[in-house]
Structures are given as structure tokens and as C-alpha cells.
Structure 1
Amino acid sequence: MKPISVTDATFENEVYNSDKPVLVDFWAKWCGPCRMMAPVLEEFSEEYSDHIKVAKLDIDENPLITTQYRVMSIPTLGIFVNGKLVDKLVGFMPKEELANRLSKYINA
């Protein structure tokens, strides 16, 4: 399953009301590390789709959620469990490191 796009308007339904953990990629089109992260997140999403939902939020088009979670650097990956932000990862990382950092949410 590919990452889904979320917006300020769909965030509540897709993230807060999700029945599994959600990894939200806060990104922007002009961000080089974000573009490097995109294929990693696609692979990750395909591999772990049974355990975690992957969503992408364009910070330029969705200022409300971006401001609410005080996203200052991108890419920022927010991990939401039961509608609550439980962890934040900032910057590019390879898929193995991402899987390792998220293992407690994937295997829960």
C-alpha cells in the first residue's frame, strides 16, 4: 500500500481515527532530503502496511496541522498512536534505521 496524502481537512479522519499507528511524513516539494525520503517511505509502506499506515502532509499546503505540531525542520516524521503524537523523527534515514526506530509501534 502506497503512502496516502493527508490535508488539514482529512487529518482527523485518516490519522486521529486510524485503527493502527500512523507515520506522518511532514514534507515539501522544494525539500531535497524530503525527496530522498520519499522512496524509503514507499518501500516502508509496502512492507509494513499490515502494521502501520503511512501518510504524507505537504507543509506548504497544510499550515494548520504543521503549526499545531510545531514542525520546524523537514522531513519530520510524526508517529501517531490512538490519535496522539507519541514520537517525532527529524531528517533523512534509511529504511532499516526507520524500521528499527519504529519497531515498538510496528510490532505492538
Structure 2
Amino acid sequence: MAIAHITTKQELGEHLKTKKIVIINFWAEWCSPCKMFGMVLNQLDEEYDDKVKILRVNVDKSPEIAAEYQVLGIPHSRLIIHNKLHEPIVGYIPLENLKQIIGV
């Protein structure tokens, strides 16, 4: 499954109904670190599609979702593991660090 681009709260809710680890990534077109982290997420999706579900939310197109998750800077990611929302990951992080954080 490819990375899902979310634009509404309803869409987000539907995608959260999964047993997989969920990464919600908040980003914007104009953000260079967001683009770099997007490449990391693409790699993670290719390697761990069976364990991880990646959702991307453009903060310019969906500011209400960003506000709900208290996004103050981007890239900003939230992990949901076993239906538990974890502390935010703010900024770019390399693939290996991300794998360690999510435990894959």
C-alpha cells in the first residue's frame, strides 16, 4: 500500500482503523526538510508496508488536522502504536533512527 495523503478528519479516522504502526507526518510543499524526510518515509514504506501505515497531512491544505495534533513546526510526525499516541518527532531524522524509534 502506498503512502496515503490525508485531507480530512474523516479520512484520517478511517486510516487509523488498523493494527499496524501508524505514522502521521505533517509537511508542506515549501519545506525542504519535509521533502528530505518524505524520502525516508518512502523507503520505510517500501521495506515495512506490512507493519507500518504512513499518512501524510499537508499543513497548508489541512490546518485543522495540524491544529488538532498541536503541530507548531514541520516536519512533525506522530506515532500511534497499539492505539496509543506517542510524543512527536519534530524535524528530519534518518531512516535508521526512525526504524529504532518505531521498533521495526
* Same fold (TM > 0.5): yes
**In structure 2, what is the equivalent of residue 77 of structure 1?**
77
Answer whether contact 1:80 1:87 (CA < 8 A) is retained: no
User: What count of residue pairs does the alignment treat as equivalent?
Assistant: 103
Give the drift of 1:82.
Answer: 4.5
Give, in angstroms, the shift of residue 52 of structure 1. Answer: 1.1
TM-score by length of 1: 0.86
What's the offset of the Cα at 1:24?
A: 0.9
Cα 1:96–1:33 shift into 2, 3 Å: same
Unaligned regions of 5+ residues in structure 2, if any?
A: none
How far residue 38 of structure 1 moved from its aligned partner, in angstroms, is 1.1
Please give the alpha-carbon distance, in whole angstroms, between the structure 1 residues aligned to 2:72 and 2:22: 20
Alpha-carbon deviation of 1:91?
0.5
Q: Which runs of 5+ in 1 are unaligned?
A: none
Describe how 1:5-84 pairs up with structure 2 within 5 A.
5-8=5-8, 9-15=10-16, 17-84=17-84
The 3 A distance-change label for structure 1 pair 100 and 81 is closer
Q: Percent identity?
A: 32
TM-score, normalising length: structure 2: 0.90
Offset from partner CA, 1:29-70 (integer Å, 9 cap, x none): 011100111111100111111111011110111111100110
Question: Segments of 4+ in structure 1 off by > 4 A?
Answer: none
Displacement, 1:84? 4.0
Q: Secondary structure at the match of 1:10?
A: helix
3-state SS of 1:5 partner: strand
